Amino acid sequence: MAELLRYEQVEISYRGRPAVRDVSFTLHEGEILGIVGESGSGKSTLIRAAMGLLGPSGAVTRGDILYRGRSLPTLTQEELRRINGPELGMIFQNAGASFCPVRTVGSQFYESAAAHGRVSRQDFTEHAVDLLEKIGFADGRRILNSYPFELSGGMQQRVGIAAAMLLKPSVLLADEPTSALDVFVQKQVVEEMLLLRKEFGTAIILVTHNIGVVGAMADHVLVLKDGGAVEFGRTQQVMNAPENAYTKKLMSAVPRLKKQRENRTDEGMIHAG
């Protein structure tokens, strides 16, 4: 499988102060990496850096982030705009906030697709309605015709998930995509992400506090603490036999986990955490 994303000893700083230190991993086509760790450990920082979304005070200060061999931190804004969306897709931690309040969901969806030279409006609309209905909306067409402020927080989150997935990115960076959603909708979103991987070989980085979702989805897990990687390995290994003391503590905070991995059912996994 082709290598898509490579972090090489990456340090990321805000105003010169490191928030992430010496993190390395490689993501190949179709792989899912789970990133876990306490609040403030640097999870969002780590994935936002790939897309050049650290804000004016943030920068990659050591190492490199490579997408298909191209160094992302050295790209211009224009080059990043071409990659962000169809190549690197982001589901934001608070996806609702990234929508323009005065334009319908549908027109914003279509604009982002058209910017990257994709499909006709009609094909696009059908595809969007279909995806929205697969992630739990009864009437996808109504959602496309809605303004963001007409939707609840959880609905906006799902719209943000659909916006990223519609472009079928090579790498989907998902920052707590399902935390605001109830378990049934969580399950539908997880299934759609897995389908995207199966159909298009999409690689996924999934940031989450929900160890159950990591167990159900991820091939590898990276554990972050205070900006550093304290453990990295295959999901089974990290969850069942963690080596690091912090990872052990993190895993033991999910008491039902071991039993769930024994009788692994999707429903059960998603209830954890």
Ligand X SMILES: Nc1ncnc2c1ncn2[C@@H]1O[C@H](COP(=O)(O)OP(=O)(O)OP(=O)(O)O)[C@@H](O)[C@H]1O
Binding site for ligand X (CB under 6 A): 14, 19, 37, 39-45, 55, 57-58, 93
Smallest separation (angstroms) from ligand X to the CB of 216:
20
Smallest separation (angstroms) from ligand X to the CB of 13:
9
Cα distance between residue 154 and residue 66, in whole Å: 33
Smallest separation (angstroms) from ligand X to the CB of 39:
3
Q: Pick one of ligand X, Mg ion, none as the site partner of residue 117 (Cβ within 5 to 8 A by kind).
A: none
Cα distance between residue 205 and residue 175, in whole Å: 8
Q: Is the CB of 58 or the CB of 85 nearer to ligand X?
A: 58
**Which residues on adjacent β-strands are paired with residue 225?**
228
Q: Pick one of ligand X, Mg ion, none as the site partner of residue 58 (Cβ within 5 to 8 A by kind).
A: ligand X
Q: Pick one of ligand X, Mg ion, none as the site partner of residue 41 (Cβ within 5 to 8 A by kind).
A: ligand X
Q: Pick one of ligand X, Mg ion, none as the site partner of residue 45 (Cβ within 5 to 8 A by kind).
A: ligand X
Q: Which stretch binds Mg ion (CB under 5 A): 38-46, 54-62, 124-132, 230-238?
A: 38-46
Q: Residues 269, 213: contact at Cβ < 8 Å?
A: yes
Q: Pick one of Mg ion, ligand X, none as the site partner of residue 247 (Cβ within 5 to 8 A by kind).
A: none
Q: Is the CB of 37 or the CB of 212 nearer to ligand X?
A: 37
Q: Is the CB of 44 or the CB of 178 nearer to Mg ion?
A: 44
Q: Is the CB of 44 or the CB of 84 nearer to Mg ion?
A: 44
Smallest separation (angstroms) from ligand X to the CB of 52:
13
Q: Is the CB of 167 or the CB of 250 nearer to ligand X?
A: 250
Q: What is the DSSP string of 128-185?
A: HHHHHHHTT-S-HHHHHTS-GGGS-HHHHHHHHHHHHHHT--SEEEEESTTTTS-HHH
**String of b and e for 122-140 (b: at least 16 CB within 10 Å)?**
eebbebbbebbebbbbeeb
Q: In what order do the strands lie in the sheet with 203-207?
A: 70-71, 58-67, 3-14, 17-28, 228-234, 220-225, 32-36, 203-207, 171-175, 88-91
Residues 6+ away with beta carbon under 8 Å from 18: 11, 12, 61, 227
Smallest separation (angstroms) from ligand X to the CB of 58:
6
The reply to whether 44 sits near Mg ion by the rule CB under 5 A is yes
Give residue number: closest CB to Mg ion. 44
Number of helices (H) and strands (E) in the chain: give both, helices first: 12, 10
**Which residues on adjacent β-strands are paired with residue 62?**
11
Q: Pick one of Mg ion, ligand X, none as the site partner of residue 14 (Cβ within 5 to 8 A by kind).
A: ligand X
- Residue 197: phi, psi to the nearest 5? -65, -45
Residues 193-232 as x/- pattern, contact with Mg ion by CB under 5 A: ----------------------------------------
Residue 124 per-residue DSSP state? H
Q: Which residues bind Mg ion (CB under 5 A)?
A: 44
